[in-house]
A and B are shown apart, each in its own frame.
Chain A
Amino acid sequence: MTVNADSTFYRVVASPGGAIATVFLATVIFVAIFADWLAPYSFEIQNLPMANTPPSVAHWLGTDEFGRDVLSRIIHGARTSLKVSVVAISVSVCVGMFLGAMSGYLGGIFDRIVTAVVDLTWSFPEILIALIFVAIVGAGMYSTMMAIGIAYLAQFTRLTRAQILSLKNETYVEATVSLGAGPRHVVFAHLLPNALPPIIVAAMLATGDGIILEATLGFFGLGAQPPIPSWGGMMSNGTAQIFTAPWIIIFPGLMVALSVIAINMLGDSLIRALDIRSQVRPA
C-alpha cells in the first residue's frame, strides 16, 4: 500500500465535510499563529471598569471578569489549546510508534512487558492518568502537554504494534529480511512507513480528544498558568459567571466543540480517502 499525498489531499478536500473541516481548521491554525497581529486587544491587560460587558461592537464576544476582550483571549487561547494538544499528541505518537514498532518486530519478553504495561494504561481513563500525572509534576502548560501525551501513549503503541504484526508477514518484508537487512532497516525503512496512514488518522482524532482533555484539566484548575488563556481555562473561570456573563463560557466552549468536530470530520474523510477504515477506529 503506497500513499500518494497529492491525490489523498485531493480526495479529502473533494468531500464536502472534508473541505469545510479543512477550511475551518486552517483558519484556526492561521489565527493561532498570527494571534499577535489578529487579536483586536491584548489578552492580558486588564480593564476593570469594563468587566463582564456583553458582546458589543467594540467587543464582539464581550469581556471577561477583568474587562479583557473575550475574542482576543479566544484567539490567543487557540494557540495554547492547539499547541498543548498537537505537541502532546506528536510526542505521544513518536514514542508510541517507537515502542510499538520495537515491541511488534522484536516480540519476546520485550513485547510481553510493553504489551502488559500498555494494556494496563490503555484501559485506564485518560482523565485519571492526566490528573495523577499533573499531581506529580505540578500544573502548567508543559505538564499538561506531558500528561496528555502519556495518557495517549498506550493507544499509539498498541496501534503501531498491531500494524507491524500484520505487516511483518507480508511477502515483501520477508523478502527484505531474507536479503539480509537488519531489524533497524526493516522497521524504519519498510514497516513503519507502511503502518503510517492509520496512525496519522488516529493521531488526528486523538488531537481532538486532547483538546477536550486540556479543557477538562483546565476545569479542575490545572491547565495553562494565568494570564495565558486557554479554551479550557476560560471555560473553567466562566463557570461561576454562567448566569451573569454566559458569553465567557459559551464562546470558548463553542470553539472546543467546533474544532473537535472539524478534526473528526477531517479524520473521517482521511479514512475514506486512504481507505483504511477498518484499521483505525476499533482499538
Chain B
Amino acid sequence: MNYIRKTLNSTASLALVGGLSFALAPAAFAQEATFVIASSAVGAPSYYPVKATMLNVSNYLIYDRLIEQDEKQQFHPHLAESWDAAPDGMSWVFKLRQGVKFHDGEPFNAQTIVDWLALFQGTENQFMIDAIDKIEMVDDHTVKLLMKQPDPNLLFNFSSSFMGVPSPKAVKELGDDYGITTAVGTGPYKLESFAVGQETVLTRNDDYTWGSELSQNQGPAKIQTLTMREIPEQSTAFLELKTGGIDLLYDVPTDFLPQIKATPNLETLSLPGLVVMYMPINTSVEPFTDVRVREATALAVNQKEILDNIYKGVGAEAHNFLISSLAEANVDPKYNISYDPAKANTLLDEAGWTMGPDGVRQKDGKPLSVTLWTQGDTEFKRVSEAVQAQLKAIGMQAEITVYDSSTIRDLYKKNQHQLAVRSYDWANADILDWFFSGKRLGYPNISMWNDPKSEELNQKAMTGSRTWEERVANFKTYHEHILSQWLFAPIYQPVQNISYNKDKLRVPAEIRGPGLRGQTILDMEVME
C-alpha cells in the first residue's frame, strides 16, 4: 500500500479537514518523495540558521553555503568560487559566484555577505564569526575579511548548516516570523510549509543552476516536492519505510538492518558517522584523582565486544576522542586507548586496590564502587550495561543511574558524577576545547579537567593557528596530551545508516558529503 499524500499545509485548522486531501491524490510517478529525518533532529524549531541552535537536514536544502565539505571533511567551493588567506592568517579574500538569486528574486552578492554577517551580532551563533574584525567589499562579488586574530576554522564555519546564507532583506522584513513561516535562501528547495516536530514540505527551486562540484547535477533538482517528516519513535519510522509510507529514512538503528536486508525493495547506504560514544571520567573525585585508576578504567572498556555484540559489527571502534575522518584523530598510535585487561588489573594492584573475595576490589576497607550515569535511550542503556559488566571484570563495581538529558547536565555542574556513558555529534577538532577546557568545568567539561599544560595547548590550538595545517598540528598535540591524561574511555563510532526504497528512488552510488545532504539530493530521482 502506498499512501500518496497531497502536500498540505498542516496548520491547526487544516488538520481537522485533512481527510479531504485524499480526494486530491496526485497522478502517479509525480516527482515527489517523503523522507524521514534523523530522530535526533526531531523538533528543530526554526529555519533561521543565524539564530538557530538546532537544525535539521532541510536547512541544507533551503540554503546554500559559501563552502561545502565532502565525506573526508575536505572543503569545496560553492557560493564562494575561491578563497585565499594571507600567510599571517589576518585577512581572507572570498570570490563569490555570480548569477545566484535568492528564492525571492533578490541577487546574491558582496552586499549580501556584509548584511548577513551583521545579523550574527548578539546571537547564539556570534562565536562563529567572532574572529572577524571588519568586512570590506572589494567589488560586487569579492569580499575581504579582516581578522582580529587568525581563525583557519572559518572554513569549517562557512560550511556549517548554521552558516547557510539567508536573504538579509527577507530576514529584516519578517522579523520574528523568519524561519518559522518563511525562509528565503538560494538553495535547491524552497520552504513550502513547516509544522515544527511534524513535517517540512519543500518544493523545487526551478531557477537553480549553481549546484556545487560535489553534485553531478548542477541545475534544478529532479525531485519536485520533498516532504521531510519527523518521527520520534524509531520502530514506527522503520515500519513506515517497510510499508511504503515513506521513501527514505535517515538514521536507521542497527537493530533493523537485518530486516531491511531481508526486504527486497529496500537498500541501505552506509556513511561514516559524525558521532563518538565515550565514557568521561571525573578526575576531581575519588578514586579517579589517581591517574592509574583512570587508566585502568579506560583500559577495561572492550570496544570490540561492544561493536560486535551491541552493534552487530556495524560501525567502528573508537580509540580516541575524535571521529576517524578528521586529520586530528590520526594521533601517534601509542596515545590511542585500547582494551587491555591485564594492564588494567596491574595498575589497580599498583594503586593499592586489591581484589576482594566477592570480585570487587578494595582499598583501606572501602570497595571500588562507582556510579555510572547515562541517559534513558535504549542505546545508551545497553552500552552502559555492557560497560558495567566490563568494569566488573577488573573488579570495579559500577552502579547505573539513568537521567534525562537536562537533569544530567545540571548534576554534572554540581560535580556529583564519577563515570558516564554519553556521545557527541560534531565533526571538528574544537570539540576538544568544548569538553576539556578549564573554562567549562562541570558541563561540558564533565571530566572536570583543568591543568596548565592542557590550557596552554588549548589556547594555542584555538587561537594560535594561522593556517588550517597549523591548526591540525596544534589540535593533534592537544588531543595527544588529553589522551595521555586518561580523562575518558573511547567506546564506539556509529555509521550513518540511510535506508531507502530502491523501487522508487534512484540514489547516486557515491555520496559526496559528510552526510546525505543537498549535493546528493540534487542528484536523486524518483523512478518513472
Chain A residues within CB distance 8 Å of chain B: 44-46, 48, 51, 65-66, 135, 138-140, 220-222, 225-227, 236-237, 239-244
Contact = CB atoms under 8 A, between A and B. Distances in A.
A139 B385 contact: no
Interface string B59-74: 0000000000000000
Given A139-B402, A226-B402, A241-B255, A236 B309 contact: no
A16 to B, nearest CB: 39
Interface in B398-412: 399-404, 407
A170 to B, nearest CB: 50
B113 to A, nearest CB: 44
B340 interface: no
A220 B377 CA distance: 8
Residue from A51, A138, A226 with most neighbouring chain B CB atoms (10 Å)? A226
Contact of A227 (B253, B305, B400, B403): B400
A72 to B, nearest CB: 15
Interface in B295-321: 305, 308-310
B437 interface: no
A65 B235 contact: no
B389 interface: yes
Contact of A221 (B256, B377, B407): B377
A46 to B, nearest CB: 5
Give the contact-size bracket for chain B. 20 to 34
Given A65-B309, A243-B259, 6 more contacts: A46-B389, A48-B309, A66-B309, A222-B404, A227-B385, A239-B235
Contacts of A46: 385-386, 389
Contact of A65 (B253, B310, B375, B402): B310
B interface secondary structure, majority: helix
Contacts of A236: 378
A225 B401 CA distance: 6
Interface string B245-260: 0000000010110110
B376 A222 contact: yes
A interface secondary structure, majority: loop
Contacts of A243: 256, 258-259
B402 A221 contact: yes
Contact of A139 (B309, B384, B388, B403): B403
Nearest to B308: A48
B374 to A, nearest CB: 9
A242 B235 contact: yes
Contacts of B97: none
Given A65-B310, A243-B256, A244-B258, A237 B401 contact: no
6 contacts: A44-B389, A139-B401, A221-B402, A237-B378, A240-B235, A240-B255
A221 B381 contact: yes
A135 B378 contact: no
B234 interface: yes
Nearest to B375: A221
B234 A240 contact: yes
Contacts of B258: 243-244
Contacts of B402: 139-140, 221-222, 225-226
Interface string B275-309: 00000000000000000000000000000010011
